[in-house]
């Protein structure tokens, strides 16, 4: 119950034999200047998604995200972005020497996941930072929460600011009313999708969509050639092409059947007594006032109020039921489904959750408070230019971090280079470690040490 979306099944994309591993010889087109079969394939993808232009990505969404940021900004610009963006966005800040203005989503109290970004938040940020050159939103989030991209786009576009959406987890949205919320149809200027996360396509295959003209398509294509290899894998491109063909021919029927399987899963989840599943079973989207929408491909299982942590639930499912989930975080765990999950697979997941629910015992429910963002002493790129030292974690209070610390997955930073380390952050790091959440930093010195800037700022 984790990515990739093809679920390691041989169909419909085949086994990609090495006979297909060709290079840019006569008749096979040029990935970075397509004029033949690759151009035709990308045009077909654009028609499928409703974009003006689509570009294949062979090193995942990361290359598209970096290229989109670089195409929309110049060094020294300001970017408005969701704090919960993937770490590749933060790498884009450093490469382009940008100053970030963070949008902090509300925390959903009942499941402890980040809620949607509201159009009002974006409008306020643009009023306070009128010189911002780009707004970057993640939708859906790792946990499946969708923001109102159409309304956010209207807010951005009336000020002439382009909207870029990291839709890495949403390549399947828009092919069924039950799986709605796609950013291309909502009018975002650049949309980056990881086909491999939710569709039948191998890991590292992704796609970028461009429209609207607010960002130069020529510059976007040029930046893609910078951030992607000059030796693209024809295995990956053939797989993307197969995926697009499959979606053209089978998506209507396949997604209708997918919906039925997930509705049956939801029906079984109504039996839960202590565990809960976000927007499934007895839990409804209407119960989450800060959600604009929810991707029903995600199965977020809450252990809040029970004697299990999210990591313990993930371990039990692996060790006792041979079910591997995507991730666990604090008091919830995440299963990723796709259009290729069979009824048998979903029934096994449902039965396992129900059996564990019968074993769960009530426990005091911990209230998780959303911490304010750490104070930024320097933009991340400037902090990277400073000298640093490595010190013990308890000694770091009041210092400025020289590196980013994040929980992975999903790769969202708890503190970035250039931000101040306070006691609340240190307590949060300790709590996450106690819950079994994996924390990482560039130096890999956690959980004992962290890099901080030297001298006075």
The 10s digit of each residue's pLDDT in 320-340 is 999 999 999 889 999 999 999
Whether residue 275 is found in the same domain as residue 402: no
Whether residue 241 is found in the same domain as residue 267: no
**Residue corresponding to tokens 């210092």:** 399
Q: What is the mean pLDDT of residues 102-131?
A: 96
Whether residue 446 is found in the same domain as residue 354: no
The 10s digit of each residue's pLDDT in 5-55 is 777 666 455 555 667 778 888 888 889 999 899 999 999 999 999 999 999
If you compute the radius of gyration of the chain from its CA atoms, what whole number of angstroms results?
22
CATH number for 280: 3.90.1150.10
pLDDT band at 406 (very low <50, low <70, confident <90, very high): confident
Q: How many domains does the chain have?
A: 3
Domain C-terminal end among 197, 226, 245: 245
Q: Quick check: is 3 in a domain?
A: no
Whether residue 224 is found in the same domain as residue 104: yes
The dihedrals phi and psi of 309, each to the nearest 5 degrees, come to -95, 170
CATH number for 142: 3.40.640.10
Domain C-terminal end among 245, 277, 296: 245
Pairing of strands 449-453, 388-392: antiparallel
Measure the CA–CA gap between 6 and 9, rounded to whole angstroms: 6
The 10s digit of each residue's pLDDT in 420-440 is 999 999 988 888 888 777 888
Whether residue 24 is found in the same domain as residue 62: yes
Whether residue 37 is found in the same domain as residue 132: yes
Number of Cβ atoms within 10 Å of the Cβ of 431: 13
Buried b (16+ CB within 10 A) or exposed e, 241-259: bbbbbbbeeebeebbeebb
Q: Are 376 and 384 in contact (CB under 8 A)?
A: no
Whether residue 329 is found in the same domain as residue 192: no
Assess whether pLDDT exceeds 70 at residue 169.
yes
Q: What is the pTM of this model?
A: 0.93
Measure the CA–CA gap between 311 and 409, rounded to whole angstroms: 12
pLDDT band at 408 (very low <50, low <70, confident <90, very high): low
Lowest pLDDT segment from 78-82, 146-150, 373-377: 373-377
Whether residue 98 is found in the same domain as residue 181: yes
User: In 3D, which of 33, 447, 4 has the Cα closest to residue 232?
Assistant: 33
Which residues are bridge partners to 206 per DSSP? Answer: 57
């Amino acid at each position: 119950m984790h990515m990739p979306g093809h679920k390691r099944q041989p169909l419909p994309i085949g086994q990609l034999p090495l006979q297909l591993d060709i290079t840019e010889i006569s008749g096979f087109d040029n990935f970075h200047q397509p004029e033949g079969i690759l151009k035709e394939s990308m045009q077909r993808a654009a028609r499928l998604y409703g974009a003006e232009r689509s570009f294949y990505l062979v090193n995942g969404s990361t290359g598209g995200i970096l290229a989109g940021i670089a195409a929309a900004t110049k060094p020294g610009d300001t970017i408005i972005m969701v704090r919960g963006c993937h770490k590749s966005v933060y790498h884009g800040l450093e490469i382009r020497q940008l100053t970030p203005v963070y949008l902090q989503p509300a925390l959903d109290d009942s499941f402890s996941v980040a809620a949607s970004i509201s159009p009002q938040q974006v409008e306020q940020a643009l009023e306070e930072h009128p010189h911002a050159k780009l707004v970057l939103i993640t939708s859906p989030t790792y946990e499946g929460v969708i923001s109102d991209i159409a309304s956010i786009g209207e807010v951005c576009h009336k000020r002439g600011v382009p909207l870029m959406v990291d839709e890495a987890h949403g390549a399947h949205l828009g092919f069924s009313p039950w799986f709605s919320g796609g950013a291309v149809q909502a009018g975002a200027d650049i949309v980056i999708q990881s086909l491999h996360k939710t569709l039948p396509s191998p890991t590292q295959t992704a796609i970028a969509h461009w429209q609207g003209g607010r960002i130069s398509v020529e510059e976007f294509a040029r930046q893609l050639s910078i951030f992607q290899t000059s030796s693209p894998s024809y295995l990956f491109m053939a797989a993307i092409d197969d995926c697009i063909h499959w979606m053209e021919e089978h998506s209507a029927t396949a997604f209708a059947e997918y919906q039925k399987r997930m509705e049956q899963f939801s029906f079984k989840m109504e039996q839960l007594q202590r565990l809960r599943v976000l927007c499934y079973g007895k839990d409804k989207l209407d119960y989450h006032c800060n959600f604009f929408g929810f991707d029903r491909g995600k199965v977020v299982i809450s252990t809040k109020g029970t004697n299990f942590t999210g990591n313990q639930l993930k371990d039990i499912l692996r060790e006792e039921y041979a079910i591997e989930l995507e991730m666990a975080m604090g008091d919830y765990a995440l299963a990723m489904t796709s259009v290729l999950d069979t009824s048998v697979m979903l029934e096994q997941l449902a039965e396992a959750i129900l059996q564990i629910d019968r074993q769960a015992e009530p426990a005091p429910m911990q209230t998780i408070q959303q911490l304010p963002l750490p104070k930024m002493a320097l933009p991340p790129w400037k902090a990277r230019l400073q000298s640093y030292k490595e010190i013990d974690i308890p000694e770091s209070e009041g210092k400025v971090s020289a590196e980013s610390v994040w929980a992975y997955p999903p790769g969202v930073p708890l503190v970035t280079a250039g931000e101040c380390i306070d006691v609340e952050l240190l307590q949060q790091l300790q709590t996450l470690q106690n819950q079994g959440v994996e924390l990482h930093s560039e130096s890999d010195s956690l959980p004992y040490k962290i890099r901080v800037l030297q001298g006075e700022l």
